[in-house]
Amino acid sequence: MSSPFYVAPEQQMKDRADFARKGIARGRSVVVLQYADGICMVAENRSQTLHKISEIYDRIGFAAVGRYNEFENLRIAGIRHADMRGYAYDRADVTGRGLANAYAQLLGTIFSSGGEKPYEVELIVAELGVTADRDEIYRLTYDGSVADESNYAVMGGATEAIGAVVAEGYHDGIGLDDAVRLAVHALGSDGTEHRSLEVDSLEVALLDRTRITPRKFRRLGDRALAEILGHSS
């Protein structure tokens, strides 16, 4: 009688992590950064219907890279979590930190389970504060790890190269136009040769502190984005 094949837990976790990282690396990156009046989220996304950036709640935005069906399921779960908490308690009780913790528990459970494959996703949960010093950006990885990022966060394929460009060009109080241009320039610097990204290959959304409505999320349309980037519309 043959004995069952044994894999050490450490090796199993390493294999699952490598699997998830390879899947994420195939996706195009996302840059999220603070600007003077809010938080800007910029993704390279050639689809006009499948969004990588979305609204979760009044002041909370969501960005993701990896397998679309997996992070779309997480987005919907986040909206349900926020709606239920806001309905049962108060809208002010729905926070980015609480949502990030819920995602971390879910991703960590899936990653540690031997019964299903790990999610090939990375997420960013961003919450707009009343003032800039109260803005929050949380980055979550496939294994449920959470990082509280300052000023900006990058996730996806060429994270190091893109992050280096953002770090070089970023400064406190950066304006919206400069923030968008910096993010787009950084996304085009993900390889050995710089790529010029056109408006139709970008997805840009904001958590805008200047909006007078409770919901602070808004998307930048092609015309507004073209004006910022200096492209003809």
Q: Give the containing element (helix H, strand E) for 121.
A: strand 121-127
Would 196 be classed as within a structural domain? yes
Residues forming a β-bridge with 202: 44
Would 77 be classed as within a structural domain? yes
Would 20 be classed as within a structural domain? no
Contact 162, 186 (CB under 8 A): yes
Would 91 be classed as within a structural domain? yes
Would 164 be classed as within a structural domain? yes
| Residue whose pair of structure tokens reads 């610097």 in the numeric block | 189
Would 7 be classed as within a structural domain? no
Q: What is the pLDDT of residue 233?
A: 42
Q: What is the pTM of this model?
A: 0.91
Q: What is the pLDDT of residue 153?
A: 96
For helices 159-169 and 176-187, give the axis angle rounded to 10 degrees.
150
Domain count, the chain: 1
Range of the domain at 221: 27-229
Of 167, 173, 206, the closest CA to residue 189 belongs to: 167
**Regions in the chain scoring below 70 on pLDDT:** 1-7, 191-192, 231-233
Q: What is the pLDDT of residue 231?
A: 60
- The CATH number assigned to the domain holding 174 equals 3.60.20.10
Would 6 be classed as within a structural domain? no
